[in-house]
Structures are given as C-alpha cells and as structure tokens.
C-alpha cells in the first residue's frame, strides 16, 4: 500500500523524542503559563477552570437535591433554595457547559486535527481565557455579596425588582459572552485558513465540523445575549422602560431576546458533544464512519435552523396561535438533523468489531441518553402537550437528559479519549469503566424519575411539594449520590494518572485523525514538519493500526 499513514512508532523513531509542551525547557514557570499563546496550554488551563466550575455547580446540585428529600423546609428556606438552584444553573451553563468542550478540548485538539501549529489568533485566545476568568470572578463575587434568586434565565419582571446581586451576575454573563465570541471567531478563522495541505472541507474530521458549526452560533448568537444583559442592567439601574410593565415596558420581550440567544446556545452545548461522539464511535468500531457528509452537514443545518425556534419557550407566555404553530413546526424540523446523526452512528457500529473501552462506553451511554433527551424535546415542542408540561419537572428531566446525558457524558468520553494525548498518561481502564457505569446508573436514577413527576404535575423551582411525590423525589436524591460518586471516581482516576510516568503511546486507540500522528503529549509546535493529508479521516482500509494501540 503506497499511501499508508506512517505509524507513529516509525514517525517518532525518525525524529527522536522531543520535549513536549508541558516540559518544554524554553517555556518554564508559572508566568510562561499565564501569558502563553500555545493553544494546548490554554486548552489545559481552560480545562482546570471548567472542571472547577463543574465541581462547584455540582455541589449546589447536591444541596438542591438534599433539600428535596422531604416536603417542607429541611435546611433551606424558599429564599435560599431559589438562590441554590439559580447558582447551580448559572454556573453550569455559563461557566461550565458552554466553554467546556470548545474552549478546553477544542482548543487543544482542533489545531492538531487540522495539522496546524496554533489557532489563527493565539493572542485573542489568551484574551478569551482571561476574559473568562474575569467573568468567573464576577460570578463568584455576586454569590458572595448577595446571591441571585432569579433562575439562570433572569426573567423579567422578577429580575428587575428582586434584591441581591443580579446586576453583578448579569454583567458577568455579559463578560463571559465576549470570551465565547473570541473563541468562536478564532475557530472559524482557523478552520478556514489553517487546514493542512490537501485537507479539503470533506476531509475535515467530524469533530472539526461540529466545533465549526458551534463557533458560528457562538459568533452570531452571543452578541444578542450581551445586549439583552445590558438592557436588563439598564432597566434595573435606571428604569429605562423596556422590560418593566409598570413603566410601559414589555416583559415578554425579554423572553424573546433571551431565548434568541439561549435556544441557539443549547446547540452551542450539544454540537460539540456530538462532535466528540463522531470521533469516538469510528475509532472504537474500527470502521469508516457511515454517512460522513450527512453528519458534517447536519451540524451546519442544526446551527442554522436552531436560530428559528426560540419561540418554543414561550408557548405559554401569550404567543399568537399562528406564531406558536410555526415555532412548533420548526422545532420538529430541527430534530431531524439530530436524528440523522444518531442513525449514522448506529449504522457505523452495526456489525463492527467494537471494543468497549472507557471512551466508547461513554459514547454508547450518550446514544441512549441523548435519544431520550431528544425525543422528549419533541413532546415539549408539541403545542398541546407543552401546555401541560411547561415549567414542570418534565422539562427539567428533558434538558438534563440532553445537557448532562448528552453533553457532559460526551465531554467525559472525550476527556478519557484524549487524556493520553493531552498529558501523555494512561489511566486505569477498569476504574474508568466502573465510574462510567455508576454515572450512567446514577444519572438515570436521578432524572428518569423526574419525567414521571413532571407528567403528574410537579412544578419546577419549588423547595417543597405534595406528599404524593416524596418516594420519587427521594429516589432521585439517592440517584444524585450515585452520580456524584461515579464522577468523583472518574476524577480521581484521571488525576491519579497524572502522577504516574508518561507511558501513553502516540496513538493508543488507533485513531486516524492527525492529532494521533504526533507524540503524546505533543511538542510545543505540534508536529515535526508540516503534516499533510493523503486519505480521508476514518479510512480504516488505508490505515495501519499501530502495534502499541490498546
């Protein structure tokens, strides 16, 4: 075979082992990290930050669930409970899930996959990181100085009249938006201009397609959130008369502005998750991915149609029947590209010789959980059903199945997939699988119950409930402990590996994309020489799986 990719073993033997980006003698000390423009180091710093946010947001979640063990006040009153779920939601959405995959894993992997030395604008990347840190500090400050009890959606008129640190929190969201925009601009320009020679649009790995579609949404939707937050602060501070009905404003206008960003934002959250799944499944099935173009283009379709469905959050807010019907129809439409992806992944796995290593275990969990999350989205998109289910635990369960069961599970799968590449170390495979199993079981215990409660009328955002719901609520709380335990075990497993020797081969899973063609961890300039592309990604017929792959 003429155009077999050089196996990494041959490759490194050719050039010898180079100092990697973590131990590069030219870039040493804390300062070299603080002002680094290396996309890999920025990705790693982002990773520690989003993991910290995930931890804090997770603690609030456990508190919320604990309060719900019994009806009535256990250890939080209504006021404190409102703050707890608001902080949980705001931290999880703005500090964790939106930056998680693109800014942490994407930053690290995307340029490597393109065969590039860095992103297009390395200094903008650094700025994005520090703007994120600034926004995070503001968010934490708002918790300390007064708390926020509006819910992560900041709906008016409550948000313009309640006390607490709403202004600080919304300004933090504004600042975080810039960080997201910077990342988006960077990735779009990088994908357009820094592809390796010979890498056409349809030779891009699907992870790149997903992150590219995400970046477009980040650029086009986030400014609207920015101006919405500014208007909200103005209304709170100066009574400008836009959202407050008492002075002639329109509170529903806020909902439109908010969801014009936040519905596309749910695709900022899920597309990167789908992007990871599109890498893991072919690698562990040793199969050329089925329907490459459909998966690639469905990301773009989701990104575009996703801008037209925001009204499905306002079916019960007095939308005209015509508008509601149109939004409902478009909501059904946007589910089609997601379905296309799921079927293509399953077709890839059909009759393949699948190896169920930890990343693949997460990917299969994703298929199931995202399937449930997506299908229940269709329920909610149906007008008559949504009147019954709106603002109940059914909605809570739906979005946790997509955000946690989808994105977070994919993020964990991606972490386990690229951990050897990022840090050069293998983690304990059996512990990884056990953790994944606990996460899967705990997650379903926590949230499957909430579909039942919601359909029976349990409203969301209350610290107390009717006695009839207690068994399911308690079961859900027990589930949250199993879930928490699974996540802790996964964290200890990954972190523990960092203390071991750098034992990861360049391509431990037999992946076909370019990031596996450089050593683990990569050198500061990513590749020795300029890699070029001689075959399509996932082309296992022309790819020799290296002998040291697991």
Partner 1 sequence: MSQAHEASLTEHGGHGDDHAHDHHPFHQHHFATMEQQFDASKIGMWLFLATEILLFGGLFVGFGIMQSKHSAAFIAGHHHLDWQMGALNTCFLLISSFTMVMAVWAASNNRNGNKQGILVTNLLLTLGFAGGFMVVKYFEYSHKIHDGLLPGKFFHYTGPDLVPNMFVFFSFYFMMTGLHGFHVLGGMGAITYLIIRSLKGDYTSDYFTPVDLIGLYWHLVDLIWIYLFPLLYLIS
Does residue 530 interact with partner 1 by CB under 8 A?
yes
Binding mask 401-430 for ligand HEM (x = CB under 6 A): -xx--xx-----------------------
Among 9, 301, 333, 335, contact with ligand HEM (rule: CB under 6 A): 335
For the chain, what is the largest distance between any 2 Cα atoms, rounded to a whole number of angstroms? 76
Please give the residue ranges that form the binding site for Cu ion (CB under 5 A): 263
Cα–Cα distance measured from residue 541 to residue 549, given in angstroms and rounded to the nearest whole number = 17
Kindly tell me which of 195 and 263 has the beta carbon lying closer to Cu ion: 263
State the Cα–Cα distance between residues 487 and 283, nearest whole angstrom.
24
What one-character-per-residue DSSP string does 458-484 give?
Answer: -BSS-S---GGGHHHHHHHHHHHHHHH
Site membership for partner 1, residue 248 (CB under 8 A): yes
Per-residue contact track with ligand HEM, 242 to 261, x per CB under 6 A? Answer: --------------------
What are the residues whose beta carbons fall under 8 Å from the beta carbon of 122, sequence distance 6 or more? 37, 38, 39
**Alpha carbons within 13 A on the beta-carbon side of 334:** 27
Could you check whether the bond before residue 200 is cis, i.e. omega within 30 degrees of 0?
no
Count the residues of the shown chain that bind partner 1, applying the rule CB under 8 A: 57
* Binding flag, residue 531, partner 1 (CB under 8 A): yes
Q: Which stretch binds ligand HEM (CB under 6 A): 62-70, 198-206, 393-401, 524-532?
A: 393-401
Q: Is 101 in the site for ligand HEM (CB under 6 A)?
A: no
Residue 139 touching ligand HEM (CB under 6 A): no
Rounded to a whole number of angstroms, the minimum distance from the CB of residue 333 to partner 1 is: 23
Cα separation of 146 and 163, whole Å? 8
Token pair recorded at residue 370: 């995202």
Report the distance separating Cα 359 and Cα 414, nearest Å.
Answer: 7
Smallest separation, CB 420 to Cu ion (Å): 36
Name which of 165 and 403 has its Cβ closer to ligand HEM.
Answer: 403
Q: Give 59 or 220: the residue with its C-beta nearer to partner 1.
A: 220
**Between residues 71 and 122, which has the closer beta carbon with respect to partner 1?**
122
**250 touching partner 1, by CB under 8 A:** yes
- Measured CA to CA, the distance from residue 80 to residue 84 in angstroms comes to 6
HSE-CB of 525 using CA atoms within 13 angstroms:
7
Q: Which residues contact 275 (CB under 8 A, 6 or more apart)?
A: 101, 206, 207, 208, 209, 210, 211, 214, 299
Which of the stretches 245-253, 269-277, 333-341, 393-401 binds partner 1 when contact is defined by CB under 8 A?
245-253
Select from 184, 306, 432, 510 the one that contacts partner 1 (CB under 8 A).
184
Q: Which is nearer to partner 1, 162 or 530 (CB)?
A: 530
Least distance CB 528 / ligand HEM (angstroms): 39
Residue 275 β-bridge partners: none
Which among 119-127, 134-142, 200-208, 269-277 is the span making contact with partner 1, rule CB under 8 A? 119-127
**Helix (H, G, I), strand (E, B), or coil: what is residue 523?**
strand
Neighbours of 193 (CB within 10 A): 10
For 333, residues 6+ apart whose C-beta sits below 8 A from its C-beta are 305
> Cβ neighbours of residue 430 under 8 Å, at least 6 residues apart?
none
- Full DSSP string of 46-108: HHHHHHHHHHHHHHHHHHHHHHTTSSS-SS--HHHHHHHHHHHHHIIIIIIIHHIIIIIIIHH
Q: Which is nearer to ligand HEM, 57 or 381 (CB)?
A: 381
Binding mask 220-239 for partner 1 (x = CB under 8 A): xxxxx-xxx--x--x---xx
Site of interaction with ligand HEM (CB under 6 A): 153, 266, 269-270, 312-313, 331, 335, 338, 374, 377-378, 380-381, 386, 390, 395, 398-399, 402-403, 406-407
Site of interaction with partner 1 (CB under 8 A): 2-6, 11, 14-15, 18, 116-118, 120-122, 124, 181, 184-186, 188-190, 192-194, 219-224, 226-228, 231, 234, 238-242, 247-250, 253, 257, 517, 523, 525, 527-532
């Amino acid at each position: 075979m003429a155009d077999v990719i050089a196996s990494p073993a041959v490759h490194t033997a050719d050039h010898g082992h180079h100092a990697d980006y973590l131990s590069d003698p030219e870039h040493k000390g804390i300062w070299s990290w603080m002002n680094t423009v290396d996309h890999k180091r920025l990705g790693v710093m982002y990773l520690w930050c989003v993991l910290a946010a995930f931890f804090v947001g997770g603690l609030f979640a456990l508190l919320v669930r604990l309060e719900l063990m019994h009806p009535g006040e256990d250890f939080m009153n209504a006021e404190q409970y409102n703050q707890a779920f608001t902080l949980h939601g705001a931290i999880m959405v703005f500090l964790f899930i939106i930056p998680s995959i693109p800014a942490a894993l994407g930053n690290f992997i995307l340029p490597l996959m393109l065969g590039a030395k860095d992103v297009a604008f390395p200094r903008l990347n650094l700025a994005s990181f520090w703007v994120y840190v600034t926004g995070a500090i503001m968010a934490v400050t708002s918790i300390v100085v007064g708390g926020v009890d509006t819910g992560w959606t900041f709906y008016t008129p409550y948000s313009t009249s309640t006390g607490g640190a709403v202004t600080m929190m919304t300004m933090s969201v504004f600042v975080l938006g810039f960080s997201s925009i910077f990342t988006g601009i960077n990735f779009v320009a990088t994908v357009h201009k820094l592809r390796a020679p010979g890498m056409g649009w349809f030779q891009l790995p699907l992870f790149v397609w997903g992150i590219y579609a995400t970046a477009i949404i980040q650029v086009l939707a986030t400014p609207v959130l920015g101006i919405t937050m500014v208007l909200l602060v103005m209304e709170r501070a100066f009574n400008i008369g836009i959202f407050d009905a008492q002075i002639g404003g329109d509170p529903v206008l806020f909902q439109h502005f908010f969801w014009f960003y936040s519905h596309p934002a749910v695709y900022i959250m899920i597309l990167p998750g789908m992007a990871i799944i599109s890498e893991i499944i072919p690698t562990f099935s040793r199969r050329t991915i089925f329907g490459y173009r459909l998966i690639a283009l469905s990301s773009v379709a989701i990104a575009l149609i996703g801008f037209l469905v925001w009204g499905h959050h306002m079916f019960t807010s007095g939308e005209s029947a015509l508008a509601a019907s149109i939004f409902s129809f478009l909501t059904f439409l946007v589910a089609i590209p997601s379905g296309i992806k799921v079927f293509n992944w399953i077709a890839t796995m059909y009759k393949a010789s699948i190896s169920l290593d930890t990343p693949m275990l997460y990917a299969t969990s994703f298929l199931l959980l995202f399937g449930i999350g997506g299908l229940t989205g269709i329920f909610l998109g149906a007008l008559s059903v949504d009147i019954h289910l709106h603002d109940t635990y059914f909605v809570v369960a739906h979005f946790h199945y997509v955000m946690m069961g989808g994105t977070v599970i994919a993020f964990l799968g991606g972490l386990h997939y690229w951990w050897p590449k990022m840090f050069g170390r293998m983690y304990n495979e059996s512990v990884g699988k056990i953790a994944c199993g606990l996460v899967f079981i705990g997650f379903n215990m926590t949230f499957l119950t909430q579909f039942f409660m919601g359909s029976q009328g349990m409203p969301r955002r209350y610290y107390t409930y009717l006695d009839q719901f207690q068994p399911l609520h308690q079961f859900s709380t027990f589930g949250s402990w199993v879930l928490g335990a699974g996540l802790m075990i996964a964290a200890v497993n990954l972190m523990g590996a960092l203390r071991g020797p750098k034992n990861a081969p360049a391509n431990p899973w037999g992946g076909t994309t370019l990031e596996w063609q450089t050593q683990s961890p990569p050198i500061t300039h990513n590749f020795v020489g300029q890699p070029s592309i001689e075959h399509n990604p996932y082309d296992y017929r022309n790819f020799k799986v290296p002998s040291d792959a697991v």
